[in-house]
Amino acid sequence: MNSQRLRGLIRKEFLQILRDPSAIAIAFVMPVFLLLLFGYGVSLDSKHVNIAVVVDQPTPETSSFLGSLQQSPYFIPIQYPSIRIARQAVMSHHVDGIIWLRSDFSRNLLQKKLAPVGLIVNGVDANNARILEGYLQGVWQNWMNQRALDSGSPLLVPLQGQIRIWFNPALRSQDYLVPGLIAIIMTLIGALLTALVVAREWERGTMEALMASPVTMGEILVGKLVPYFIMGMGGMLLSVAMALFLFKVPLVGSFWVLLLFSTLFLLAALGMGLLISSVARNQFVAGQIAIIVTFLPAFIFDIRSTPLPIQVITHLFAARYFVASLQTLFLAGDIWPILLWNGLALIIMALFFLGVTWRRSHKRLD
Amino acid sequence: MVESPLQFLDVAKKFKRSKGEVQALQRLSFHLAYGRIIGLLGPDGAGKSTLMRMAAGLLLPDSGQVLVFGIDTCSPDNRIQSQIGFMPQRFGLYEDLTVQENLDLYSDLQGLNKEESQKRQQELLALTALDPFSKRYARALSGGMKQKLGLACALLRSPRLLLLDEPTVGVDPIARRELWEIIKALKEEGTTILISTAYFDEVERCDEVILLHEGQLLGQKTPGEFLSPLSNHTYLVNRKDSSRRQLQEELRFRQGVIDARIFTEGVRVLCMDLQIHPASGENWVPVPPTFEDAFVSLLGQKNVLADSPELPTHILPRHEINPEVVIEVNELKHFFGTFEAVKGVSFQVRKGQIFGLLGANGAGKTTTFRMLCGLLPASAGILRVAGVDMRRASTSARALMGYVSQKFSLYGNLSCNQNLSFFSAAYGLKGKDGRQRIDCALQEFQLSDYRDVNTDDLPLGIKQRLALACALLHDPLILFLDEPTSGVDPLARREFWQRVNGLAEGGVTILITTHFMDEAEYCDKLVLMSRGEVLAQGSPVEIRSKARNDVCSQPSMEDAFIYLIQEHEAVLRRFS
């Protein structure tokens, strides 16, 4: 490695980055955009859901139950005079479900200590419907407990669930999504950007001129790795800062471990980008491959819920290990038994991609 | 013994293609002598670029040896690369870097220290006259300036061997002349220069010429040695009562004539032997042979169109159009923002004329062209094509036009046949009629062999033929050709011009831009543009006579071009 040649190449790369708005956009605008979009736009939680309430016969018990509904952060109850009108409201999407307290609600409650509550949910969004159902049961349970306490007599429930939610006690899906997003952003910067810029050198014929100079292939590769490594880490730090300060995702683990894992992952992603572009010497094809490879590893959904063949395939993508590490680091802490394996996988992938690229690239045009 | 700068010993090279293999070079052996300018000439696909890349160590031979200053290019050693300068066909510049930054990058890559590099960069900027543009982005340079910058980058370390791969493609005559001044200066410093080119006049400036054909060496001699066997074989023929084109057609098929091409006031003829073959009314004057004659006699003995002497006129029924003036342009202007790219241009084109638009890079030729085709709106002036006002109803006129753009605009990953089908559909030719025309085109343009080959894999000359075929599918009245021969080899160019001449005879009006001054001779009428203005118009003879002065009594078209443009620029400078 000749430091002067390397310096020249790196300086050239930075000048090109600075003058190419699309590179800046991929590295800095896209992370912000994706984080805002997924952080605010895509939420798997249901909050402030409009729900119709139909009370056939108002009693003190019904108004007490309504009161506790109103206090729940999950629902905005809207009273409808009859079930027929409430049904229309569901049809027209004004509300997502109906809570129907029939005329015998109070009587059943007082006599049998148990009263059926009618719940009709719009099941088009199945996930949302299930969540609503769960929330309503929670509200019901709370209200019954409260009543039992108020009346002094213990509630006669044969089995009482005591639920603890670990690692994400508030059940905020952002806490789970945002770390996954960081992995996607870094793959995009690492793989997409490098794949594009190397392919561009081939396309514009500059690679030919570079190769005819005394520069070595190793210098060309390192000259590409260093600038995009810096860009990728910049994008990563930006994303982490947004995660911590904007979305208030807790970072339970250590920042330095996070940095270490990001470095490993970025090297693997850059290696992949370089490899893609050495196979496809055409920006369009290189971009296509990079995007497919980036989005294959699912980051939103649990991999275990996918079909077996897909689960096997995900093992080939560095992003899988990085997503797992990130979610562990952010939500659970430095859990070494998990991190160690994922870290090892990342090291192997980084070595593999960089090694293959190194071996494949020789200073020849064919 | 001093090592030769470049030695090929029994070199062979094959390339794998989608269909089979291509033998790029076979059993090629030669060596270069020190301090000379060696021209590399050959038709498309002869292996010129492969040879250049092998000399630069970018490709390795399948068998045989390539030695650069005695070092085998196979050895893992970058001593070779620090002794050579290589300028690839596309100059290898970073377009989003400035002139200065490009030079800095290559200085670093060549390992020049700061003082060395500053001194050398100053020298080179002065040599290439790029000094005032050092802060300009490479993408904003004209073709000629890019080429000079590419050359400067290759020259930073004063290479002992300089490899230039078609450096003058698409570059105007003034820039070419400047490049040759630089090359000559380098030779004085003792550099060995290998330059591949498609221009015969450039070949004649070389000390030695390597002629390559289908990967084999046809000869390595001085230009004089190539020419001497042809002395007294070449004549300039005149006949009073017929046009040059008619005369050329007659002479091409005359017994004993190898080649006939339009040149200045007459037709240049190359004969097989020392006999002349005049017919009545013809005046034969002996002229000295040129390299083009040598090239044709060595490579082109088989007349490219001999198999189909009937030119492809029958797919084009003769147009009986009424207005004799097909294109009328008056005070035509175009502004890009506040920049006036075309400043009040006026000319007329008659039916069946071949009308040439000449000018340096950036003279406004392409802008004028695009306005004529209705691709750019005119900012002011009158513009009528086939009687249609292009400023009002350009769409209806467009059906009458065929257009071949600089880069041919073919779909690279479609086959010949698919490209033709696409263009026929785009022109609204349907069903049996469309199919018939495509079949005709495949036959007339001798494309049947390439029918299913992807356009990307075709040699440039064939691509050009296909582009022409596509533009002619719908029987246009007017054909626009924007630098159609740039980068195309000499044989393909000759063939192209035979077709164009045939079309003109068939009544098609042809507008063409070119950087080849010998091609300007083929035109009936020329317009010479510079900086958006028309400097001169008239027949080639009239244009040349404008440059006649005491220094130059018989100016060539290139002399006239350079003289008129420099004159104009001097006037501009005086006024500014």
Give the residue among A64, A114, A118, A60 at the shortest CA–CA distance from A90.
Answer: A118
DSSP notation for B132-148: GGTTSBGGGS-HHHHHH
What is the number of domains present in chain B? 3
Report the C-alpha gap between B385 and B398 in whole angstroms: 9
Contact criterion met (CB < 8 Å) for B109 and A365: no
Give the residue among B145, B163, B146 at the shortest CA–CA distance from B154.
Answer: B163
Contact A64, A143 (CB under 8 A): yes
Nearest to A8 among B93, B105, B163 (CB): B105
Beta strands in B109-253 (DSSP E): 161-165, 192-196, 208-213, 216-221, 234-239
Min CA distance, B114 vs chain A (Å)?
11
CATH code (residue B23)? 3.40.50.300
ipTM: 0.76
Chain A residue set in contact with B, beta carbons under 8 Å: 2, 4-5, 7-9, 11-12, 15-16, 19-20, 204-206, 208-216, 363-366
Min CA distance, A360 vs chain B (Å)?
15
Contact B228, B293 (CB under 8 A): no
Residue B88 lies in a domain: yes
Contact criterion met (CB < 8 Å) for B101 and A5: no
Residue B308 pLDDT: 43
Q: What are phi and psi of B22, to 5 degrees?
A: -120, 130
All residues of chain A having their beta carbon less than 8 Å from the beta carbon of residue B105 are 8-9, 11-12
Residues 6+ apart with CB under 8 A from B54: B8, B11, B13, B25, B60, B61, B66, B73
One-letter amino acid for residue B501 of the chain: N
Q: Is A37 exposed, middle or buried (0-12, 13-18, 19+ CB in 10 A)?
A: exposed
Give the residue among B96, B201, B95, B92 at the shortest CA–CA distance from B155.
Answer: B92
Among B459, B475, B491, the domain boundary falls at B475
Contact criterion met (CB < 8 Å) for A212 and B105: no
Please report the sign of the dihedral spanned by the C-alpha atoms of residue A116, residue A118, residue A121, residue A123.
Answer: positive
All residues of chain A having their beta carbon less than 8 Å from the beta carbon of residue B89 are 205
All residues of chain A having their beta carbon less than 8 Å from the beta carbon of residue B53 are 208, 365
Q: What is the pLDDT of residues B495-516, one digit of tens each?
A: 888 888 888 888 889 999 888 8
Contact criterion met (CB < 8 Å) for B106 and A213: yes
Q: DSSP 3-state assignment of B34?
A: coil
Contact criterion met (CB < 8 Å) for A212 and B57: yes
Report the C-alpha gap between A305 and B384 in whole angstroms: 69
Contact criterion met (CB < 8 Å) for A15 and B101: yes
Asked if B90 and B218 sit in the same domain, the reply is yes
Buried b (16+ CB within 10 A) or exposed e, A250-259: beebeeebbe
Q: What is the pLDDT of residues B262-297, one digit of tens each?
A: 877 788 888 888 777 787 788 888 888 888 888 888
Q: Is A88 exposed, middle or buried (0-12, 13-18, 19+ CB in 10 A)?
A: middle
- Per cent of chain B over pLDDT 90 is 16
Which CATH code fits A49-151? 3.40.1710.10
All residues of chain A having their beta carbon less than 8 Å from the beta carbon of residue B58 are 208, 211-212, 363-365
One-letter amino acid for residue A148 of the chain: A
Asked if B10 and B106 sit in the same domain, the reply is yes
Q: Is the pLDDT of residue B201 over 90?
A: no
Contact B308, B356 (CB under 8 A): no
Most B CBs within 10 A among A9, A10, A213, hence the mutation to make, goes to A213
Asked if B236 and B217 sit in the same domain, the reply is no
Asked if B278 and B221 sit in the same domain, the reply is no
Residues 6+ apart with CB under 8 A from B224: none
For residue A44, the surrounding DSSP H or E stretch is none
Record the tokens describing residue B82, joined without a space. Answer: 């620090």
Report the C-alpha gap between B420 and B418 in whole angstroms: 5
Mean of per-residue pLDDT scores for chain B: 84
Asked if B114 and B135 sit in the same domain, the reply is yes
Strands B216-221 and B257-263: unpaired
Min CA distance, B395 vs chain A (Å)?
33
Report the C-alpha gap between A286 and A291 in whole angstroms: 9
Record the tokens describing residue A12, joined without a space. Answer: 């050239």
Residue B131 pLDDT: 85
Q: Is A22 exposed, middle or buried (0-12, 13-18, 19+ CB in 10 A)?
A: exposed
Please report the sign of the dihedral spanned by the C-alpha atoms of residue B547, residue B550, residue B553, residue B555.
Answer: negative
**In tens digits, what is the pLDDT along chain A, a chain of 366 residues?**
788 999 999 999 999 988 888 778 877 888 888 888 877 776 666 677 888 888 888 888 888 888 888 888 788 888 888 888 888 888 888 888 888 888 888 888 777 766 777 888 877 777 677 777 888 888 888 887 787 777 766 655 545 556 666 666 666 777 777 888 888 778 877 888 888 888 888 888 888 888 888 888 889 989 999 999 998 898 889 889 988 998 888 888 899 999 999 999 999 989 988 888 877 777 777 777 777 766 655 555 666 677 788 778 777 778 888 888 888 888 888 888 888 999 999 999 999 999 998 888 777 777
Strands B21-31 and A97-101: unpaired
Contact criterion met (CB < 8 Å) for A16 and B101: no
Its pTM stands at 0.79
Contact B11, B29 (CB under 8 A): yes
Q: What are phi and psi of A306, to 5 degrees?
A: -90, 165
Min CA distance, A4 vs chain B (Å)?
6
Report the C-alpha gap between B14 and B24 in whole angstroms: 5
Strands B478-482 and B71-72: unpaired
Helices (H), chain A: 3-19, 21-24, 30-36, 60-71, 83-91, 105-112, 126-151, 173-187, 194-203, 206-211, 217-241, 255-279, 283-295, 308-314, 318-327, 336-360
Q: What is the pLDDT of residues B293-352, one digit of tens each?
A: 888 888 765 444 444 444 444 444 444 545 588 889 999 999 888 888 888 899 999 888
Report the C-alpha gap between B568 and B535 in whole angstroms: 7
Report the C-alpha gap between B43 and B198 in whole angstroms: 8
Residue B161 lies in a domain: yes
Give the residue among B381, B39, B46 at the shortest CA–CA distance from B203.
Answer: B39
Most B CBs within 10 A among A2, A3, A208, A361, hence the mutation to make, goes to A208
Residue A161 pLDDT: 55
Task: Kindly report the number of other CB atoms within 10 A of residue B18's CB atom.
Answer: 8
Contact criterion met (CB < 8 Å) for B86 and A209: yes
Contact B18, B457 (CB under 8 A): yes
Contact criterion met (CB < 8 Å) for A12 and B110: no
Record the tokens describing residue A234, joined without a space. Answer: 């910049």
Instruction: Determine the length of chain A.
Output: 366
Residue B331 lies in a domain: no
Residue B303 lies in a domain: no
Contact B465, B494 (CB under 8 A): no
Contact criterion met (CB < 8 Å) for A213 and B93: no
Report the C-alpha gap between B445 and B315 in whole angstroms: 11
Q: What are phi and psi of B72, to 5 degrees?
A: -70, 130
Residue B305 pLDDT: 46
Nearest to B94 among A12, A211, A364 (CB): A12
Residue A163 pLDDT: 61
Residue B247 pLDDT: 84
Contact B26, B181 (CB under 8 A): no
Q: Is the pLDDT of residue B49 over 60?
A: yes
Q: DSSP 3-state assignment of B509?
A: strand
Residue B348 lies in a domain: no
Record the tokens describing residue A46, joined without a space. Answer: 């249901």
Residue B40 pLDDT: 93
Asked if B29 and B103 sit in the same domain, the reply is yes
- Delimit the domains of chain A by residue range: 3-42+172-360, 49-151
Min CA distance, B57 vs chain A (Å)?
7
Residues forming a β-bridge with B285 = B236
Query: Which residue of chain A has the CA closest to B109?
Result: A5
Compute the C-alpha angle B231/B249/B258, nearest 5°. Answer: 30
DSSP notation for A48-87: SEEEEEEESS--HHHHHHHHHHHHSTTEEEEEESSHHHHH
Going across the sheet that includes A49-55, the strands are A75-80, A49-55, A97-101, A118-121
Q: DSSP 3-state assignment of B263?
A: strand
Query: Which residue of chain B has the CA closest to A10?
Result: B105
Task: Kindly report the number of other CB atoms within 10 A of residue B79's CB atom.
Answer: 11
Q: What are phi and psi of A269, to 5 degrees?
A: -65, -45
Q: What is the mean pLDDT of residues B441-451?
A: 85
Asked if B120 and B50 sit in the same domain, the reply is yes
Record the tokens describing residue A283, joined without a space. Answer: 């920006």
Compute the C-alpha angle B267/B556/B329, nearest 5°. Answer: 85
Report the C-alpha gap between A242 and B8 in whole angstroms: 62
Q: What is the pLDDT of residues B158-169, one digit of tens each?
A: 889 999 998 888
Residue B555 lies in a domain: no
Nearest to B56 among A8, A212, A215 (CB): A212
Residue B219 lies in a domain: yes
Min CA distance, A293 vs chain B (Å)?
25
Residue B465 pLDDT: 87
Domain residues for B62? 6-226
Contact criterion met (CB < 8 Å) for A214 and B109: yes
Report the C-alpha gap between B185 and B169 in whole angstroms: 21
Residue B271 lies in a domain: yes
Strands B37-41 and B21-31: unpaired
Q: Is the pLDDT of residue B18 over 70?
A: no
Contact B103, B180 (CB under 8 A): no
One-letter amino acid for residue A118 of the chain: G
DSSP notation for A183-246: HHHHHIIIIIIHHHHHHHHHHTTHHHHHHTSS--HHHHHHHHHHHHHHHHHHHHHHHHHIIIII
Q: What is the pLDDT of residues B394-420, one digit of tens each?
A: 777 778 888 888 777 888 888 888 999
Nearest to B108 among A8, A20, A205 (CB): A8
